[in-house]
Structure 1
Amino acid sequence: MSIKTIGFIGYGAMASLMGKNLSQAGFSIVAYTPSGKSNGAQADVPMLASPRLVAEKSDAIILCVPNDEAENKALHGPDGLLAGVRAGQLVLDTSTVSPEQADHLASLLKARNVDVMDAPMSGSTPEAEKGALIMLAGGPETTLERARPILDCIGRITIHAGPAGSAARLKLVVNGIMGGTLNIIAEGIAYGLASGVERNVLFDALQELAVISPHHKRKIGMGKAGDFPSQFPTRLMSKDMGLLLDAGRRCGVPLHGMAAASQNLAFSNRHHADDDYSALIAQMEKNIANR
């Protein structure tokens, strides 16, 4: 089946930027969101009334939803994705979901002779806008090659993680390291401020260190400015840390550092759910100011 029309289920900030790049590459785009409208970059995309209609009108489908619950809601029922898919279609799940959910989706679609890959992305809205995401792909090599024209439009590189479900597991590693590292940075900043290091000196010094990644330097810049535009909202990072801890428990792997980060991000989520997850820096700074 040639791919001319790509349907999105979930068309928020990240998906709409991916859709814009795919549209510029010549693909037709349709989409579904529970609200019935896009809150992202491309408002002229036809918004359909159900996941089933997206499946019926598309050659390939991209899932980009926040969690397992939202994905299952989009899959099942008379208006769900599964009611509209047909043999020969391609489904790419760019959502960050639990490994068990990724395995479940692969099993459901394989039974319907639909090609499927778990294909979560690493990167935030700036990378999505430039088509420079790092795409993680789990599934057969043949499916990866079929998906490559799509993946190459939205990412600068695709890493084949292995069989179905592998990319979902790798994504938890990536996001766990992101969240855990940000927590260490926030704790370090809190100590520096509490001990009397001048605020600008502290934030500016951290921007010069080779041991801090460009990604986290961007977050430190947000912390210095006290402005946290939602490139990756706290509510999603907190959710992902919870998925990682649960997955680690199932594997019998102690994740002590990740657990501490998860607790701090969960607390930050109470106050900064829709802010970028780097708002943890502000939360730590507020905590020491109140002492």
Structure 2
Amino acid sequence: MTTSPRFSPAASEFDFTSWMEAQLHHVEQALSQWVGVDTPADLGDAMRYAVLDGGKRLRPLLVLAAAQAVQGLQQAATRAACAVELIHAYSLVHDDMPCMDNDVLRRGKPTVHVQFGEARALLAGDALQVLAFELLTPADAQVPASMQAQLCRLLARAAGAHGMAGGQAIDLASVGQSLTEAQLRRMHSLKTGALLEASVAMGMACGVVSETAQQALMRYAQLLGLAFQVVDDVLDVVADAATLGKTPGKDADNDKPTYVSLMGLEPARAYAQSLYQQSLQALADSGLQNVQALSALAHMVVGRSH
């Protein structure tokens, strides 16, 4: 059996910008190679439109950063990074459709159903979802079968009724309702947080990690997921469409509960900063040395403007 290369320990001087550019280039190349190739009836055009050349790629970066922290298998991490991005992309395609959020702008361009029609958008989302699991189960032996199964289980759990889909169901059912902070946190821990947490868990699954480190990294992932949503709610209020890349103010227009509506703008900003500091402490508690990329990603999430 061919042994897949593992991530090497990072140098003591970590250049996050260079690291991120290299990882983004790697992920983009892999996605371009795997998405929408040889599909019938031009379905691939809609699939590629939904995935390529857009988005922050936060979830793939989290997979790769976590895999690097545990010196995981590179081939497995690459496939996991692309798979989680495909699940994220499919969810956006479906969420933007008229039967859900009915949005016309995503990643600075028309949404998939606006560009290709509702029927093809629905099929493109379906095809992206299935492709994610195909990528996690390659026919060659570079990714051990037990690792393939673990990666599939983590991603399926995060995407289904006990994760992203369940969170979206709560979101739709909560329009116009008053939620407590605990209820709002649960909704977003499923809708947004589950896939972010799965990204870290999938990265860890590409290597070997102690129970202590695993628990600390998952605590980091939970805090990051919550911080991401708090910042998202803040940006929905303060950013414009050109900066945000999607229609701002949609939550308020649809009377959806948010951290800003619950806490106020400045308290929500302060809460995001508190979550960031807690996430850094979780990384320190892991005892792992190579967590610079994870730390920098947390800073990027809380400091982002779109």
Task: Tell me the TM-score normalized by structure 2.
Answer: 0.28
Bigger fraction of residues in strand: 1
Query: Is the helix fraction higher in 1 or 2?
Result: 2
- TM-score w.r.t. the length of structure 1 is 0.29
Q: Relative contact order (C-alpha < 8 Å, sep 6+): which is higher?
A: 2
